[in-house]
A and B are shown apart, each in its own frame.
Chain A
Amino acid sequence: MNRLGLLVRQWRNRPGRVIATVASVAVAVGAVVATWLSADASREGYRRLAESIEGVPSIDISPRETGRWDGSGVPKLIDIPGVRAVVPLVYKPALLRSEERRIREVAVGVDAGGLVDAGFLKLVAGRACEGPDEIVVSRTLADSLDKSIDDTLLFLSRRGGYRTMKITGIADTQSLSALSDGGGVVIDIEALGELTGVRGLIDRFRLVLRPGASRQAVLAAVNERLPETLHAIVPAGRASMAHDMLNAANLGLDFVTALTVAMAWFIVGNAMLMNVTERRRAFALQRVLGATSRQISRTLFFEAAAMGAVGAAVGAVGGILAAGPIAKGIGRAIRAPDFAISYNPWIVVGAVLIGPAVAVLAAWWPTRQAAKVDLLESLAHMAPPPENISWKLVTTAAVLWTLAVGILLAVVTGTLPPRSAVPAGIATTLAFIATTPVVLPLLARLLAGLVPRPWRIEGALALEQILRQPVRTALTTGVLVVAVSNGVGLGHAIRDNVDDVLAWYGKALKADWMLLQAGALGVSRETSPSAGSGLVEEVSSIEGVASVQPISIAIGSAGGVACVIVARDMPAKEQLPLEAVGMSDDDLRKIVDDGGLLAGTALAQRLKVKAGDEVTVSAFGRTIRAKVAALVVDYTAGGTSLFLSREAARKIFGIDSVDALLIESTPAAAAGLREPLQAVAKRHGLLLQSHADLHATMDRIINGIVGALWSILGLGFIVGSLGVANTVTMNVLEKRRTLGLLRAVGMTARQVTRLVVIESLLLGLSGCIIGILGGIASAWFIQLSSQPLLGHPVSMSFRPAVILSNLAAAIAITAIAAWLPARRAVRLDLLDSIAAE
């Protein structure tokens, strides 16, 4: 036998302890792997969700002042990381004829062949169009006209004559609309220019981004290279708000992942601590017999590495298996049945490599303690001395608190990016845990006071056990603290953010039906086919329509920052579609009626303007200085928006288009409006969307986000409970002697069970209370740190349901976790437990 043999003997002698330790590592590694994979899957899911709503992520380049230009001045951009293609686009409202039907449609001029080859434009049939006599139509249009390949369409040219064009291809509607913001036909870019007299001019360059590329990063890089006269913006659209929700959700995902890693640390650290402390006496004896401390620590590190490797391998496989159903759930939530996690075999290899390192690190402190153990301990019949709360711990807590608050302040003031809030959040959680040993005795005493009178003895003994080992207790509760603060914190943050967006949404787009301009925004100045009040009147006259509200949307810039300019009137009596920051509805209504300019909070944040400051606003070649009358909470184009009344917009910028029409029906007439409105939409080349459609889209986004986050949270809770169960089991294993002695001196089995369960409950409740405080703190953190993203504070609510459900879950978990080992402890042979050593 050698030293390894000695170690193996110890393992064989106490397989329970070995299994519990390895299981802890496995649970921790499994949690990290599963969370990591699911978080990745969620991010991918969010991305797809956003893509399916708004098309492939893209960035548009256009002149700051004028409408069309000759495309000059655009530097090379294709080499910017994340850019997949640079596509020149021309939009042209066009009149088509098919037999007796006349259709208004937005024609898109592009190099169709190139786009089809690159996969940006998907054809369901035929081939790309070339030259002046060929055209590609969207499938929807082809269906509605009952056209197929090789049929012809008449295209009304500028000179008034009709040109016969052959349909060479039918495009996937989704793919075409992603490319063209709702255009319905594609014509070669030069041919379109020829036909419509805008030869050589284009509306914009569209930069198609690679999947996963950061739009903000590309945007910044592009703007860097552009000359003064041009600017790059994120295409405005109804999808931008989805992006903002996703931003907050991604922040949440980062939080969950990081907290799971922290939780894993606690679990592994605790397991290693217990694994070692249980054998203190044996180590002391070995040292008396001549083992050096180095021999002991080497053996223990080797053991930790071995357990870490096995645990990590098991955990990685388990984590991958657990991530599968979570990904499925996410897939279901975003309605992408083919959605699956990309399994990387390196995860297992990586885990097996990292696992031992983590285990050795976690074993560091207990091993040093064991190697330094007082030799007398092995000789006297003396329990290990009670641990003292060292000033080190208190200092650590103080440092962590300072760090957390410092980072948070930097994030809120915009010195650091919002993502830095993640380490700050982790620091807060750790600070809470480091503070645990300090407040726990007090808390445990208080809670022990609540133990019913007949169980006072068990309560007192349980309390004694807890107070004796503050470090271990802190680690055990740490697992719970993380699980609960995760649950409470994210539960609050997610719901608050989603509610915030929903509230805006409900206000801003309150309508039974919406008619949307299918063409691109910003070109409406020239010849909007549906300009003026003709359309409004036409829709108003439909029976069952109660009110019609026109909205114009244009792209402009404010203080050099690209923004969306929204012109709409405030309803006289109803609830306002916008919420002003620090102002009553009546005041806001008055400001808008007086022609005042409102700025979205995100825009204000970027320009660093407050209500009352002046900004330079440009749109359609006109530049004015105007005072920002108020700030409003808005999610249009991520909140980089300006609002004014339609009349003011007409006067100042000449904006008079109708880009969207919000239609409210009289009660009970809503459904019946589809037919007549569809007809209007067809005539004017508009897109009809019902409230229900819109809601379905919103629900889909929200369910996707919330579902994914909850499943990951649930995972965290399961892991937390496994961690607690494991710790309590090890606690009981280690206290076999004490428990045996208690029984030997006359405690009944029932009393011993109660003692164990009460101890566990005291731990659980203390952990929960600290965790809830930590959770509220971290919810507040997420809120504060997403403020720079949103530009306005999201009001934080207090949600007793979230808190109570977390509390109940944690109590149930700790009680159940204690029950099994308690039963075991009771069934131990009395003699065995007394002789155990």
Chain B
Amino acid sequence: MPLILAEHLTKTFDAAGHDGSPVTAVRDVDLSIDAGEFVAITGASGSGKSTILHMLGGITRPTSGRVMLEGVDLAKLDDDALALVRRRRIGFIFQRYNLLPELSLLENVALPLVFDGMKESACHKAAMEAIESVGLAPRASHRPDALSGGEQQRAAIARALVTSPAVVLADEPTGALDTVNSRHVIDLLSCLVKDRGQTVVLVTHDPATAAAAGRLIRVIDGRIASDTLVGDADERAAASPARTVVR
């Protein structure tokens, strides 16, 4: 059973167009992601990448089609149950604006556990572990605005990991970072996949970032244009694409 199974995903935004006409951002997307995969979704701006990711993560509901996560149909869950899925099974990372400025790094990272009603000491311990794993332990008590963009993004990764989610969904996590910091974030995600078998789905514009993934999905105009398995990242230079499916 795949970890994530999306069937006929379609998303239409009402009256979003300039003339008030509905915009179909995603059309009839089928997607299956197994545990341990590192998937990169690329495509032009406005092609529907983020929308796909949001539907996979239960942030928005598809207009039609369905998403199964670990065999559970997200469409069948009510808002509260969906919140629970987001809280426990999914880790989100965004381009920016995703740390609460009034909280310290540690508190930001602990947030999903706080919503889960976990005891303070346990929260603290788990959050500290997650922060250590992204190498920010010395800054744990700092406020986000005292950190660089790269550090903030690493903190966001720690927050995504703190609940040991089934899948990490990242929307242009390196979009706001320079090359060095981007590298750092990508390495971190690659390590997660390799060392922990963490499933990661990442949306990006950046070819270098996409290259780190084991599977590349190109989206054009709301449809999946190509879904390429690039094999092990280390062999990528030598090997030609192992499997190419062109639709």
Q: Which residues of A contact B (CB under 8 A)?
A: 1-3, 5-6, 9-10, 12-14, 281-282, 285-295, 375-376, 378-379, 381, 835-837
Contacts and interface: CB of A to CB of B under 8 A. Distances in A.
Interface size class of B (residues with CB under 8 A): 20 to 34
B84 A381 contact: no
A478 to B, nearest CB: 30
Contact of A290 (B50, B54, B107, B116): B116
B86 interface: yes
A287 B83 CA distance: 7
A375 B159 CA distance: 18
B59 A375 contact: yes
Contacts of A289: 86-87, 92, 111-112, 115, 159
11 contacts: A1-B110, A1-B114, A3-B115, A6-B100, A282-B100, A286-B115, A287-B86, A289-B111, A289-B112, A295-B115, A376-B54
Contacts of B100: 6, 9, 282, 285-286
Interface in B141-178: 145, 159, 163, 171
B179 interface: no
A291 B120 CA distance: 17
Nearest to A379: B94
B87 to A, nearest CB: 2
Interface string B92-122: 1010011011110001001110111000100
Given A6-B103, A289-B92, A294-B80, A835 B114 contact: no
A150 to B, nearest CB: 87
Given A289-B112, A837-B97, A9 B102 contact: yes
A9 B107 contact: yes
Contacts, number: 87
Contacts of A290: 83-84, 86-88, 112, 115-116, 163
A303 to B, nearest CB: 14
B60 A375 contact: yes
Contact of A10 (B88, B102, B120, B171): B102
Given A10-B102, A379-B94, A293 B115 contact: no
B123 interface: yes
Contact of A376 (B59, B159, B163): B59
Contacts of B86: 287-290
Nearest to B89: A290
A2 B114 contact: yes
Interface of B: 50, 54, 59-60, 79-80, 83-84, 86-88, 92, 94, 97-98, 100-103, 107, 110-112, 114-116, 120, 123, 145, 159, 163, 171
Given A375-B60, A837-B97, A837-B101, A293 B79 contact: yes
B97 A13 contact: no
A6 B115 CA distance: 10
A288 B92 contact: yes
Contacts of B120: 1-2
Given A376-B59, A379-B171, A835-B145, A6 B83 contact: no
Count chain A CB atoms within 10 A of each CB in B50, B79, B87, B115 and give the residue with the most: B115
Given A282-B100, A289-B87, A292-B80, 13 more contacts: A1-B110, A1-B114, A10-B102, A285-B100, A287-B83, A289-B92, A289-B111, A289-B115, A290-B83, A290-B88, A291-B115, A292-B79, A376-B60
Given A6-B114, A282-B100, A837-B101, A292 B84 contact: yes
A517 B171 CA distance: 97
A381 B102 contact: no
Contacts of B97: 281, 285, 378-379, 381, 837
B98 to A, nearest CB: 6
Contacts of A13: 101-102
Nearest to A287: B83
Nearest to B124: A1
A378 B97 CA distance: 8
Contacts of B84: 290, 292
A282 B100 CA distance: 7
Count chain A CB atoms within 10 A of each CB in B59, B116, B163 and give the residue with the most: B59
Count chain A CB atoms within 10 A of each CB in B107, B111, B112, B159 and give the residue with the most: B111
Contacts of A287: 83, 86
A282 B60 CA distance: 17
Nearest to A14: B102
Contacts of A837: 97, 101
A379 B87 contact: no
Nearest to B127: A1
A500 B80 CA distance: 65
A-B pairs, 9 with minimum CB distance: A290-B87, A13-B102, A292-B83, A9-B102, A291-B115, A290-B86, A292-B80, A375-B59, A290-B112
A293 to B, nearest CB: 6
A733 to B, nearest CB: 15
A14 B102 CA distance: 9
Nearest to B106: A1
A286 B107 CA distance: 13
B111 A286 contact: yes
A837 B100 CA distance: 8
B59 A288 contact: yes
B79 A379 contact: no
Nearest to B163: A290
A5 to B, nearest CB: 8
A12 B112 CA distance: 21
A242 B84 CA distance: 70
A281 B94 CA distance: 14
A280 to B, nearest CB: 13
A702 B97 CA distance: 64
Contacts of B80: 292-294
A417 B76 CA distance: 57
B123 A1 contact: yes
Count chain A CB atoms within 10 A of each CB in B79, B84, B123 and give the residue with the most: B79
Contacts of B110: 1
A285 B98 contact: yes
A302 to B, nearest CB: 15
Contacts of B114: 1-3, 5-6
Contacts of A376: 54, 59-60
A292 B77 CA distance: 13
B40 to A, nearest CB: 19
A727 to B, nearest CB: 24
Contacts of B103: 1, 6, 9
B178 to A, nearest CB: 18
Nearest to B143: A13
Nearest to A381: B97
A249 B196 CA distance: 80
Nearest to A371: B79
A290 B58 CA distance: 10
Nearest to A1: B107
B51 to A, nearest CB: 9
B215 to A, nearest CB: 24
Count chain A CB atoms within 10 A of each CB in B50, B107, B114 and give the residue with the most: B114
A292 B114 CA distance: 12
B16 to A, nearest CB: 11
A467 B185 CA distance: 43
Count chain B CB atoms within 10 A of each CB in A2, A3, A10 and give the residue with the most: A2
A379 B59 contact: yes
Contacts of A835: 145
